[in-house]
């Protein structure tokens, strides 16, 4: 009793991870809130980089292809390392890796604020990518550990923090960085320091969790499906993530340029529109997980990916008013997919939470980087308007959802 009391007092804001009656753990909302808040700060910093592209393009006389290369450097760094981090931590949990990863992000942010050349910008982007490669697999694991079995809800709460942070980046860039210049990027190091403090507390809770004291059995695939069926399902999920994040790359990296070119908006006005889109993504994220827990994740994937196609197909032909409306609808519908895809994949390959999270977060970042580079080159050769006409067809890939097995029905049948 004395030992338990001391453990509970070690981190007063985060209750010790104890099992409830019947061996069922409760949902630890304080931990989910802390990891979601840290995700907000982490992704806010990342989106600042994307939001200041017009300023960097002007300051360093960059082409669209070079702008895409900055995104590629950051996101490829994150995508290549994330699955490796996940595989390693599945076998050897690292509770205090979260604040260490945020330290890389802090370093990249400070370096970017004083970068004298394009090459140094790329190094700074790579450091931010390294921070993300550690943060996302481990924080996704923490969300699942704190879920109390409500995996979709936990992933949605975790994701909504990231999407909210992503939406804040352009707004803060418009209000702070654009008026005050490149060196004002360093002011946001305070956010990284706050995240390090919060993540240190999360690490203490994680370190006391029973999952860190024993090695879970790692299975190769879902017990009711053949390896070939699991591999096919993972392949379909990868293509769905491709359609989602390649399209998002067109918005995140080039939407401000599109609005400036087509509607002659100022940089700040265009960034406000980007903020509205990203805010709608944050709002839509919270819906997918709980609905997936209740009605099934496959249905959420259907609606989220394929259901957004009519809006993306209309976007290149809309005026400014309808562009604003359509981008909000696109953000709301498309946002719900990732939480459902991630939890669905973790159920396909049980016992590999970190590896699956690292694979899909990493793949999402990698596709965003490749998409930014490819679309930047396409924009240089053709036009920004043509880029959005090409990307409008990507959500039609959602028809492949028909190939996914009904994993949740199989699990319910076994339980009965």
Q: In Å, how far from its chain's centre is CA 340?
A: 13
In this model, does residue 393 exceed pLDDT 90? yes
- The domains located in the chain, with CATH, are 28-415 (1.20.1250.20)
Least reliable range by pLDDT among 270-274, 296-300, 380-384: 296-300
The larger pLDDT score, comparing residue 61 to residue 15, is at: 61
Task: Quote the tokens at residue 130.
Answer: 């390294």
Taking Cα atoms as reference points, which of 90, 95, 360 lies closest to residue 217? 90
Crossing angle for the helix pair 29-51 and 189-208, to the nearest 10 degrees: 150
pLDDT surpassing 50 at residue 88: yes
Tally the C-alpha atoms within 13 A of residue 147's C-alpha that lie toward its C-beta: 21
Task: Say which residue, 22 or 134, is predicted with more confidence.
Answer: 134
Model confidence pLDDT, tens digit, residues 153-210: 888 888 888 878 877 887 888 888 888 888 888 898 899 999 999 999 999 998 887 6
Burial 388-409 (b: 16+ CB within 10 A, else e): beebbebbebbebbeebbebbe
pLDDT over 70, % of the chain: 87
DSSP secondary structure letter of residue 219:
P
Q: Which pLDDT does position 24 carry in this prediction?
A: 47
Confidence check: pLDDT of 346 > 60? yes
User: What does DSSP assign to residue 218?
Assistant: P
Q: What is the mean pLDDT of residues 122-141?
A: 87
Q: What digits encode the pLDDT tens for the residues 245-286?
A: 889 888 878 898 999 999 999 988 898 898 889 888 878 877
Convert the pLDDT of each residue in 3-55 to its tens digit: 444 344 444 456 655 444 334 468 889 999 999 999 999 888 887 877 788 88
Distance (Å) of CA 157 to CA 137, 379, 407: 15, 35, 23
What lies within 8 Å, CB to CB, of 397 at 6+ separation is 239, 240, 242, 243, 305
**Could you identify the residue written with the tokens 């406000």?**
272
Query: Pick from 153, 149, 160, 129: which is nearest to 36 by CA?
Result: 160
Residue identified by tokens 């002659």 is: 264
How high is the pLDDT of residue 226?
84
The average confidence (pLDDT) of the chain is 81
Mean pLDDT of all residues in 84-88: 82
Rounded CA separation 392/238 (Å): 19
- Contact between 335 and 247 (Cβ < 8 Å): no
Q: What is the mean pLDDT of residues 321-342?
A: 89
């Amino acid at each position: 009793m004395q030992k338990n009391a001391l453990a509970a007092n070690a981190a007063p804001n985060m209750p010790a991870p104890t099992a409830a009656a019947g061996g069922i753990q409760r949902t630890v909302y304080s931990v989910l809130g802390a990891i979601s808040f840290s995700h907000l700060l982490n992704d806010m910093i990342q989106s600042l980089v994307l939001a200041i592209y017009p300023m960097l393009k002007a300051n360093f006389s960059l082409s669209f292809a070079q702008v895409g290369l900055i995104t590629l450097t950051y996101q490829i760094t994150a995508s290549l390392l994330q699955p490796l981090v996940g595989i390693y931590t599945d076998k050897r949990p690292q509770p205090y890796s979260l604040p260490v990863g945020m330290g890389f992000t802090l370093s990249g942010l400070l370096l970017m604020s004083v970068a004298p050349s394009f090459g140094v910008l790329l190094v700074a982007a790579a450091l931010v990518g390294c921070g993300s490669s550690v943060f996302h697999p481990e924080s996704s694991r923490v969300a699942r550990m704190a879920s109390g079995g409500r995996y979709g809800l936990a992933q949605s709460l975790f994701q909504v923090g990231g999407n909210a942070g992503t939406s804040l980046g352009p707004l803060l860039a418009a209000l702070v960085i654009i008026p005050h210049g490149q060196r004002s990027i360093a002011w946001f190091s305070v956010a990284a320091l706050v995240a390090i403090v919060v993540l240190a507390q999360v690490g203490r809770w994680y370190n006391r969790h029973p999952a860190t004291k024993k090695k879970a059995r790692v299975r190769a695939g879902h017990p009711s499906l053949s390896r070939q069926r699991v591999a096919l399902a993972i392949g379909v999920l990868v293509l769905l993530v491709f359609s989602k994040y390649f399209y998002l790359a067109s918005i995140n990296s080039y939407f401000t340029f599109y609005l400036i070119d087509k509607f002659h908006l100022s940089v700040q006005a265009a960034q406000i529109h980007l903020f509205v889109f990203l805010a709608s993504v944050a709002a839509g994220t919270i819906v997918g997980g709980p609905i997936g827990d209740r009605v099934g994740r496959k249905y959420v994937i259907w609606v989220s990916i394929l259901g957004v196609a009519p809006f993306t197909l209309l976007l290149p032909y809309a005026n400014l008013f309808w562009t604003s409306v359509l981008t909000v609808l696109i953000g709301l519908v498309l946002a719900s997919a990732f939480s459902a895809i991630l939890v669905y994949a973790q159920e396909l390959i049980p016992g590999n939470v970190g590896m699956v999270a690292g694979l899909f977060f990493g793949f999402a970042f990698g596709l965003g980087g490749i998409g930014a580079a490819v679309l930047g080159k396409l924009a240089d050769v053709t036009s920004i308007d043509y880029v959005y006409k090409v990307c409008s067809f990507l959500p039609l890939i959602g028809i492949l959802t028909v190939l996914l097995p009904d994993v949740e029905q199989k699990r319910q049948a076994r339980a009965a």
